[in-house]
Amino acid sequence: MTTAVAGTRKARRVSLTGNDAAAEALRQVNPDIAAVFPITPQTELMHKFAEFVANGKVNTDLVNVESEHSALSAVIGASAAGARAVTATSSAGFALMWELLTVTSGLRLPVVMCVVNRALSAPLNIHCDHSDTMGARDSGWIQLFCEDSQEVYDTTIMAFRIAEHKDLRLPVMVNFDGFIISHTMEVVDILEDADVKAFVGEYKPEHHLLNPDEPILVGPVDLPDWLFEHKRANIEATGRAPRVIREVMGEFGRLSGRSYDLIETYRASDAELVLVALGSTAGTAKEAADELREKGVPAGVIKVRSFRPFPGREIWEAMPKAKVVGVLDRSIAFGLGGGPVFHEVRSFGYEIGARVPVVSYVYGIGGRDINTDHIVGAFEDLQKIAATGQLGERYRYLNLRD
Amino acid sequence: MKIKQGSTWRDVPEGGHVLEPGTSAEYETGSWRSQRPKFDPSICIQCMSCWLFCPDMSIKLDADGKVAGVDYRFCKGCGLCARVCPANPKKGGAHALTMEVETEGGKR
Per-residue pLDDT tens for A103-122? 999 999 999 999 999 999 99
pLDDT at B107: 62
Per-residue pLDDT tens for A26-85? 999 999 999 999 999 999 999 999 999 999 999 999 999 999 999 999 999 999 999 999
Look at A233 and B19 and tell me if their CB atoms are within 8 Å.
Answer: no
Per-residue pLDDT tens for A285-318? 999 999 999 999 999 999 999 999 999 999 999 9
Q: Which strands make up the sheet holding A273-277, listed edge to edge?
A: A263-266, A299-304, A273-277, A324-329, A358-362, A395-397
A–B interface: beta-carbon pairs under 8 A:
48
Residue among A277, A263, A387, A250 at smallest CA distance from A317: A263
Class of domain B28-101: alpha beta
* CA A239/CA A228 separation, integer angstroms: 17
Domain range list for chain B:
28-101
Domain with CATH 3.40.50.920 in chain A: 263-397
Q: Which CATH number fits domain A2-256: 3.40.50.970, 1.10.3720.10, 3.40.50.720, 3.40.920.10?
A: 3.40.50.970
Look at A216 and B10 and tell me if their CB atoms are within 8 Å.
Answer: no
Which chain B residue has the Cα nearest residue A215? Answer: B21
pLDDT at B106 over 80: no
Which of B12, B15, B20 lies at the smallest CB-CB distance from A229? Answer: B12
DSSP one-letter string for A33-98: EEEE---TTTHHHHHHHHHHHHTTS---EEEE-SSHHHHHHHHHHHHHTT--EEEEE-HHHHHHTH
pLDDT at A6: 52
Q: Is B52 on the interface with A (CB under 8 A)?
A: no
Domain with CATH 3.40.50.970 in chain A: 2-256
Averaged pLDDT for residues A121-133: 97
ipTM: 0.85
Look at A226 and B8 and tell me if their CB atoms are within 8 Å.
Answer: no
Residues of A in contact with B29 (CB under 8 A): none
Domain boundaries A263-397, corresponding CATH code: 3.40.50.920
Averaged pLDDT for residues B47-66: 96
Look at B9 and A214 and tell me if their CB atoms are within 8 Å.
Answer: no
* CA A79/CA A109 separation, integer angstroms: 6
Look at B16 and A228 and tell me if their CB atoms are within 8 Å.
Answer: no
pLDDT at A1: 40
Look at A230 and B19 and tell me if their CB atoms are within 8 Å.
Answer: no
CA angle A319, A323, A328 (to 5 degrees): 70
pLDDT at B32: 84
Residues 6+ apart with CB under 8 A from A202: none
pLDDT at A7: 53
Q: Across chain B, what does the average pLDDT equal?
A: 91
